[in-house]
């Protein structure tokens, strides 16, 4: 459901997650919300909801037939409306939702309520993405944008001097490289010759046996993927088939897939078995971190001596040695300069496109066009009317 959608019907949504609980919360807001809730709600005593002051809980029934016992509260503030607490079983929830639908309410996703509380397209998008943030760290950054960090920076840029504007635009565009990954994360591919310990490394990093580990070379024939996080950055970790001369067809397609996975990885962990001969001459393609594996076994070669200046980490999936270092190195490589707390971070492709267009306009000497592009990212009146601009968290 898109935010700020013009509609003259109230919206309703179940704010509590799917599944059974003791109570569920249904919120109805938007045009005619109070009337719709008032029509559906049957107070146990006294007057209806329309005559009830905000924030005063009212007990009553709601729904077809006898209906469910509910507590209803008229809300003030933005977006206002009525909050209904009913029993948490799916039948009770359905009864309340249907009754509200019967009074003309449209059912929407929970994020819509947050998006509806703002006239800013950026803030509305941030609320939507926040609902999907996979880690606390990514959620914090999106929350800051939901609280107006990016809007404020863009508004500030419009009045900035040319040189200041150029360098701050550059900073924003650079931060989008992190911002655009906050929900989807990064892809890290584990590559290397058969039997060097790729699958076991994936398992060790995931903490459970997701990939088949086997002393028989060529066991991993497909890409095995797990979702994890390093230093709060969400990562999809991909185990691949070892790249070697594959005899059988299934394995060969696994190897081909491995090569494809490498091509679209943000980072490749190139695993080399430190306990055996160094027989892997594969050239790194794209950002690569070398992982010298099986550190618990006697070393057949020393990474510092043979790898030159290439970055490497020595690990043992068996003992766990080096796994923390590896995680930290992955995080540092993916996000070399994490945004500081409170920083404005563009997090959607359309924001990046607008900022890039503004930069291009500025570079071609068209300051006015640059400003227009930036202004178009903001709500039509800035700061928005009514003084309800989202405030910075204290």
Residue ranges in contact with Mg ion by CB under 5 A: 198-199, 220
293 binds, among ligand GDP, Mg ion, none (CB under 5 to 8 A by kind): ligand GDP
- Point out which residues pair with 189 in neighbouring strands: 238, 268
CA–CA dist 204, 363 (Å, integer): 49
Nearer to ligand GDP, 61 or 198 (CB): 198
Comparison of 99 and 205: residue with beta carbon closer to ligand GDP: 205
Smaller CB separation from ligand GDP, 213 or 358:
213
CA distance 238 to 317: 16
Output the smallest distance, CB 242 to ligand GDP, in A: 5
From ligand GDP, Mg ion, none, interface partner of 197 (C-beta below 5 to 8 A by class): ligand GDP
Report whether 243 contacts 255 (CB < 8 A). yes
Q: How many residues does the chain have?
A: 394
Comparison of 300 and 349: residue with beta carbon closer to ligand GDP: 300
CB of 154 to ligand GDP, least distance (A): 47
What's the min distance (Å) between Cβ of 320 and ligand GDP?
9
Distance CA 211, CA 214 (A): 10
Q: In whole angstroms, how close is the CB of 369 to Mg ion at the nearest point?
A: 53
Cβ neighbors of 322 (< 8 A, separation 6 or more) are 295, 313, 314, 315, 316
Angle 389-375-352 (CA atoms, 0-180°, nearest 5)?
A: 100
Q: Which is nearer to ligand GDP, 169 or 317 (CB)?
A: 317
User: Shortest approach of Mg ion to residue 236 CB, angstroms?
Assistant: 17
> Which residue number, 193 or 198, has a Cβ lying nearer to Mg ion?
198
The binder of 355, among ligand GDP, Mg ion, none, by C-beta within 5 to 8 A per type, is none
Q: How far is the CB of 98 from Mg ion (least distance, A)?
A: 52
> Which residue's C-beta sits nearest to ligand GDP?
197
Smallest distance, Å, CB 220 to ligand GDP?
Answer: 5
- Residue 318's alpha-carbon distances to 295, 323, 330, in angstroms, are 8, 10, 20
| Residue 344 binding result from Mg ion, ligand GDP, none, given CB thresholds of 5 to 8 Å by partner type | none
- Backbone φ and ψ for 270, nearest 5 degrees, come out as -95, 105
Q: How far apart are CA 44 and CA 30, in angstroms?
A: 26
For residue 307, the Cα-to-chain-centroid distance in whole angstroms is 36
Angle at 129 between CA 344 and CA 342, to 5 degrees: 25
Helices (H), the chain: 33-40, 90-102, 111-115, 121-130, 136-146, 149-158, 162-179, 198-206, 249-263, 303-306, 323-334, 349-363, 367-375
Sheet of strand 267-273, all strands in order from the earlier edge strand to the far edge:
224-230, 233-239, 186-191, 267-273, 288-293, 312-314
Distance CA 144, CA 344 (A): 8
**Binding interface with ligand GDP (CB under 6 A):** 194-200, 213-215, 219-220, 242, 293-294, 296-297, 316-318
Residue 316 contact among Mg ion, ligand GDP, none, beta carbon within 5 to 8 Å by kind: ligand GDP
Q: How far is the CB of 278 from ligand GDP (least distance, A)?
A: 15
Whether 86 and 61 have beta carbons less than 8 Å apart is answered as: no
Q: Pick from Mg ion, ligand GDP, none: which does 390 bind, CB < 5 to 8 A by kind? A: none
Choose the one of ligand GDP, Mg ion, none that binds residue 196, judging by a C-beta under 5 to 8 angstroms depending on kind. Answer: ligand GDP
Instruction: Return the number of the residue (262 or 348) whose C-beta is nearest ligand GDP.
Output: 262
Please, which residue, 108 or 196, has the CB nearer to ligand GDP? Answer: 196
72 is in the binding site of which of ligand GDP, Mg ion, none (Cβ under 5 to 8 A by kind)? none
């Amino acid at each position: 459901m898109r935010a700020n959608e013009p509609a003259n019907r109230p919206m309703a949504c179940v704010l509590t997650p799917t599944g059974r609980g003791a109570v569920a919360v249904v919120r109805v807001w938007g045009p005619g919300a109070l009337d719709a809730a008032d029509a559906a709600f049957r107070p146990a005593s006294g007057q209806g909801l329309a005559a009830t002051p905000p924030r005063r809980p009212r007990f009553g029934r709601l729904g077809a037939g006898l209906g469910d016992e509910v507590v209803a509260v008229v809300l003030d503030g933005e977006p206002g409306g009525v909050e209904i607490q009913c029993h948490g079983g799916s039948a009770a929830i359905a009864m309340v939702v249907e009754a509200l639908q019967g009074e003309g309410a449209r059912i929407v996703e929970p994020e819509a309520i947050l998006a509806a509380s703002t006239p800013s397209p950026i803030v509305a998008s941030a609320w939507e993405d926040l609902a999907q943030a996979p880690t606390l760290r990514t959620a914090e950054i999106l929350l800051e944008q939901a609280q107006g960090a990016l809007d404020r920076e863009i508004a500030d840029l419009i009045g900035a001097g040319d040189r200041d504007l150029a360098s701050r635009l550059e900073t924003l565009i650079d931060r989008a490289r992190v911002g655009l990954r906050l929900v989807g994360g990064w892809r890290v591919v584990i590559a290397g010759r058969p039997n060097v310990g790729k699958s076991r490394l994936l398992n060790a990093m995931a903490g459970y046996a997701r990939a088949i580990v086997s002393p028989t070379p060529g066991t991993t024939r497909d890409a095995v993927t797990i979702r994890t996080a390093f230093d709060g950055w969400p990562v999809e970790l991909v185990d691949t088939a070892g790249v070697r001369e594959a005899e059988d067809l299934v394995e060969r397609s696994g190897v081909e897939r491995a090569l494809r996975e490498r091509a679209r990885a943000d980072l490749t962990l190139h695993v080399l078995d430190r306990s055996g001969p160094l027989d892997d001459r594969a050239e790194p393609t794209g950002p690569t971190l070398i992982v010298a594996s099986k550190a618990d076994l006697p070393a057949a070669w020393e990474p510092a001596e043979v790898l030159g200046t290439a970055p490497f980490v020595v690990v043992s999936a068996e003992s766990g040695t080096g796994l923390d270092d590896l995680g930290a190195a992955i995080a540092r490589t993916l996000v070399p300069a994490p945004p500081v707390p409170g920083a404005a971070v563009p997090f959607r492709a359309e924001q990046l496109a607008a900022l890039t267009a503004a930069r291009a306009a500025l570079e071609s000497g068209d300051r006015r066009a640059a400003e227009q592009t930036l202004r178009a990212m903001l709500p039509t009146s800035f700061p928005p009317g009514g003084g309800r601009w989202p405030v910075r968290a204290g």
